[in-house]
Structure 1
Amino acid sequence: MEYTIKDMYKQSDLTIHTVRHYCDMGLVPNLMHDKNGSRIFDEESLHWLQGAKFLRASRAKQL
């Protein structure tokens, strides 16, 4: 199934800005784009975003 960035931020509980930032940093591998250049996400993308969120939260607890 394919998702938009709006779907991803709702499912991952991250902001749209954060989702874009993580994608731009390469934390979501194999990210596809449509003919207009918009990001197309799948279930694997959601798992990568959730993993990045978890790692970010675990780092914040150490500080």
Structure 2
Amino acid sequence: MTESASVAVCPRCHRPVVVRDRGEYTVERAALIVANGLCVCPPAKAPTPPGDGTDPLDS
């Protein structure tokens, strides 16, 4: 997640992301949502370390 001035935006789609606390609701954020929409990208998955037993090809 990157910051656009004081608004947190998604690094993939560059749209505002869901807020974490009440203080993040700003006029600037509202204007970005009206102009660009809200981020609906799926959350990034953390990579699994090799050999953790979940990948049958690791054997």
Fold conserved (TM > 0.5)?
Answer: no
Normalised TM-score (structure 1): 0.26
Larger Rg: 2
**With CA pairs under 8 Å and 6+ residues apart, which has the higher RCO, 1 or 2?**
1
Normalised TM-score (structure 2): 0.27
